Every structure is written in structure tokens, then in C-alpha cells.
Amino acid sequence: MTPEESRELSRRNRRSFLGLGAGLAAAWGAWTLASNSADSDGIPVAFRKTLQWNESVSSNLLYSANNLAPEFPASAIGELRENGTIGLGDDRPQANWQVALTLRQGTPPVKVGLTAIQELPEYRQTTEFKCIEGWSTVASWKGTRFSDFVKKFAPDSPRESKWVGLDTPDEEYYVGLDMASALHPQTMLAWELNGAPLTEEHGAPLRLVIPVKYGIKNIKRIATISFTAQRPNDYWAERGYDYYSGL
């Protein structure tokens, strides 16, 4: 290199180092701004907004009621972990269990007995329960399709409402579902697991099984079902998790 070339190289390097430094500073600034943005249900709002954008991409572009979670032979069934006890703390007796059904936001609930729900068309599935932690277990469920429950007890609600909220009796655990996922053919109200009535740990006497979403949405021990115009509260969504949680 001639001295001239050496000077030119130094000049270019200096300029570009400054440019790289500016780029890194801008990136660091953006990251800091995003990470320190206001808390939005357990995560900074910058990230919460992206999760919500992902949700609209998923529900508008990817989701289809024709996409089914795979089913498995009985030989694949495993022992389902009892991964949470939140919401199971009441001591309400199981006899004459009734679900409080709110047909439209702002209207008083009507009572639907479990026996009436159990007269709906029987539906069984053997699907993977997928925990948001990353593990999965195949389980066999018996109950009725949620869409059949809706047809019988809340036929106008899908038209009038956009969301379904479900709660436990003690209101300690609660989930919110978008209407499309709630009406997915594999979404069901279940009362039997692997050939036996639900145990306390697994959500007796009635739970939700929704294989198109992570396990967190599969609420146990359902006491209330509400059809609402506004997004219902969701236990894990309040703690930083994605509301949609769709598979």
C-alpha cells in the first residue's frame, strides 16, 4: 500500500467504525426502549403488541377449522401430568353440578345442568395435550363438542359475540377463547379421561379440551361460560403469555 492508500483505508475504516457504532447504539437504544416500555400484562408493551400482531396473522391467515390436531391410537396414551391446581380450591360438591351460562355480554346468566350437557351428542378424541412448557402427552377424552353445546344452549351467541370466557367456581383460574377456536370441531367439554370420570386433579366434573391451543387454555372444573363482545380475562395472558396461544 502507498501512504496515500493507507490514509484512504484508515479514513474508510474510521468512517465505517463510526457507522457501525451508530448502528449498534441505535439497536441498543431500540432494545432498551422496547424492554423498558410500559408493562402490558406481564411483558413490555412493545412485545405485547407484536404478540397481538402475530395473533392476527395466525387467526386471519393460518387458522382453519379444517386443520385438525392429529389423533393417536390407544397405544400412544400416556399418564397425563397434573401440572396445576389453580382454580381447584373450592369445596363445591359435584352432585347436581350446574354451569352458569351468560349468552351475551351484560345479560344475567342462566343455569345449565351437567346432566343436560351430558345428553348432547357424545364425542371422543385421542389427541396430544401440549403444555406451553414444551411437553406433550396423548390422552383420550369423552364428552361433547363445544359447538354442539353452543347449538343447543347458545345458538345466537356466535353471531352476537366474539369471545368465550370460562371460569372455575372460585374464579381463581379463567381463560378466554376467540370464537373461531371455541367452535373448532375438536374443541370439547369433557367429563371422562382415559375411560374413567375426571378426577379432581384433572378437572372434575367438567373441563375444556381444546387441542388447537396450548394446555393453559384447557380449563378444569368449569363453573361459568360467558359469550362476550370484549376479550375476557385470561389467567396466563395476564402473566406475560400470549393470549391466543394457538397451535
Binding site for other proteins (CB under 8 A): 1, 5, 8-9, 12-13, 15-17, 20, 23-24, 27, 42-44, 46-48, 50-51, 54, 58, 62-64, 67-70, 130-136, 211-212, 236, 239-242, 246-247
In the complex, the smallest distance separating the C-beta of residue 233 from other proteins, rounded to whole angstroms, is 16
| Residue 26 C-beta: closest distance to other proteins, Å | 11
The residue assigned the cell 411483558 is 43
Q: Nearest 5°: CA angle at 108, between 105 and 145?
A: 70
d(CA 226, CA 161): 10
Peptide bond into 108 cis (omega under 30): no
Minimum CB separation of residue 178 from other proteins in Å reads 13
Q: b/e map of 201-223 (b: 16 or more CB within 10 Å)?
A: ebbbbbbbbbbbbbbbbbbbbbb
Minimum CB distance to other proteins smaller for 58 or for 98: 58
Residues β-bridged to residue 112:
99
Q: Please, what is the minimum distance in Å from the beta carbon of residue 47 to other proteins? A: 4
In terms of CB distance, is 3 or 106 closer to other proteins?
Answer: 3
Which residue from 91, 118, 117 is spatially nearest to 200, judged by alpha carbons? Answer: 91
Helix (H, G, I), strand (E, B) or coil at 6: helix
In one letter, which amino acid is 160? E
* Buried b / exposed e along 169-178 (16+ C-beta atoms within 10 A): beeebbbbbb
CB of 16 to other proteins, least distance (A): 4
**For cell 400412544, what's the residue?**
76
Of 6 and 115, CB closest to other proteins = 6
145 and 212 in contact (C-beta within 8 Å)? no
> Alpha-carbon dihedral of residues 54, 56, 59, 61, nearest 10 degrees?
-90
Nearest-10 crossing angle of helices 45-57, 3-35:
80
Which is nearer to other proteins, 26 or 110 (by Cβ)?
Answer: 26
Cβ-based nearer residue to other proteins, 54 or 224: 54
Q: How far is the CB of 210 from other proteins (least distance, A)?
A: 11
Q: CB-wise, 183 or 247, nearer to other proteins?
A: 247
Nearer to other proteins, 9 or 110 (CB): 9
CB of 5 to other proteins, least distance (A): 6
